């Protein structure tokens, strides 16, 4: 049978900082899930533990046993956030956040989550949420950087923080101008999406620089950024320059003048 996850529910994406810190109800919920996934009780969640939990959640979500998870099956499954959202009059925001995550995971857009879609998204998201590492992650990363966890937490609290995208491009020889045109097309599309603040493409002034192009953009929240990127991939028709390798992540400010 195909397997899914709260780690298909619980594993995904680069997330912002702990904007809902000191909310005891949310802290307790996150700790409960973390301890459930942490099968060997060592205070860390490994990728293997996450994958095992994904298997269990898939079995639970797949109510009709057809080895596919529909949006309704996915939305019905909950660990306590829905009740909390209802208590705080944020049920609509919570449901929308869950649906947005489902859309990202449903890479082929057929309205169901397959085992392959879950395995790919979980592996990618565990890696990116954990500072591009497959080492075990702690509670803080688990609860604030995995897409579904952060999305549910922020939907319930109504809190989110602006994020900065830094995208370092590995540009193939002779394709810098073509790569700049690709960026311009993408920037034009993204600037019309909800949550967009600004973007700027930087070009090196040194001939021996490792990277010649670096993009820095600001978005109102990680959710608006993710929705915009998904829209660009599925609706814009923009094709990336052949050989161009983006190296992107989202960042928060931790020090300033």
Angle 115-129/91-105 helices, nearest 10 degrees? 110
Predicted model pTM: 0.56
Checking if the pLDDT of 16 tops 70, the result is no
Q: Which two tokens stand for residue 233?
A: 């991939």
Domain membership of residue 2 (yes or no) is: no
- The confidence band for 253, taking pLDDT boundaries of 50, 70 and 90, is confident
**Integer Cα distance of 95 and 114 in angstroms:** 21
Same domain for 90 and 211?
Answer: no
| Closest by CA position to 124, among listed 99, 146, 151 | 146
Triad 183, 187, 189: Cα angle to 5°: 120
User: Are 120 and 232 part of one and the same domain?
Assistant: no
Q: What is the CA radius of gyration of the chain?
A: 19
Give the pLDDT confidence score for residue 2 in this predicted structure.
34
DSSP H or E segment with residue 217: strand 213-219
Task: Give the angle subtended at the CA of 18 by the CAs of 14 and 24, to the nearest 5°.
Answer: 135
From 132, 157, 182, give the residue that closes a domain: 157
Q: Kind and range of the H or E element at 114?
A: none
Q: Let me know whether 189 and 138 are in one domain.
A: no
What are the tens digits of pLDDT across the range 145-194?
888 888 898 888 866 678 899 999 999 999 999 999 999 999 999 999 88
Q: Do both 31 and 153 map to the same domain? A: yes
DSSP state of 137: B
Residue ending a domain, among 119, 139, 157, is 157
Report how far apart, in Å, the C-alpha atoms of 224 and of each of 80, 94, 197, 231, 234 are: 24, 15, 11, 10, 15
Looking at residue 159, its pLDDT comes to 62
Gap between the Cα atoms of 53 and 131, Å rounded:
21
Strand ordering across the sheet containing 196-203 = 196-203, 213-219, 163-170, 245-251
**Listed residues 157, 188, 221: the one ending a domain:** 157
Both 153 and 32 in one domain: the answer is yes
User: Could you tell me which residues come within 8 angstroms of residue 127 by beta carbon, excluding any fewer than 6 positions away?
Assistant: 133, 134
Q: At 205, which CATH number?
A: 3.30.70.100
Tokens 């990618």 correspond to 124
Residue pLDDT, tens place only, 29-58: 999 999 999 999 999 999 999 989 888 888
pLDDT (0 to 100) of residue 14: 34
Mean pLDDT of 228-241: 88
Q: If you average pLDDT over every residue of the chain, what do you get? A: 85
13 within some domain:
no
Q: Is residue 18 part of a domain?
A: no
């Amino acid at each position: 049978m195909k397997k899914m996850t709260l780690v298909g529910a619980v594993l995904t994406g680069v997330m912002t900082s702990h904007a809902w810190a000191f909310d005891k109800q949310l802290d307790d919920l996150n700790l409960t899930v973390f301890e459930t996934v942490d099968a060997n009780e060592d205070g860390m969640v490994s990728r293997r533990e996450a994958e095992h939990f994904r298997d269990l959640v898939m079995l639970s979500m797949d109510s009709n046993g057809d080895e596919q998870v529909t949006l309704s099956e996915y939305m019905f499954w909950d660990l306590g956030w829905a009740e909390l959202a209802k208590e705080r009059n944020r049920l609509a925001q919570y449901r929308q956040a869950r649906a947005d995550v489902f859309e990202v995971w449903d890479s082929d857009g057929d309205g169901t989550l397959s085992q392959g879609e879950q395995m790919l998204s979980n592996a990618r998201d565990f890696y990116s949420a954990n500072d591009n590492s497959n080492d075990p992650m702690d509670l803080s990363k688990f609860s604030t950087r995995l897409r579904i966890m952060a999305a549910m937490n922020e939907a319930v609290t109504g809190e989110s923080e602006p994020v900065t995208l830094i995208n370092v491009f590995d540009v193939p020889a002779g394709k810098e101008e073509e790569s700049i045109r690709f960026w311009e097309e993408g920037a034009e599309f993204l600037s019309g999406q909800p949550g967009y603040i600004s973007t700027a493409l930087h070009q090196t002034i040194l001939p021996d620089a490792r990277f010649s192009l670096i993009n820095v953009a600001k978005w109102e929240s990680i959710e608006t950024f993710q929705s915009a990127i998904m829209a660009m991939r599925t609706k814009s028709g923009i094709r990336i320059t052949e050989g161009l390798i983006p190296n992107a992540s989202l960042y928060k400010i931790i020090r300033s003048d």
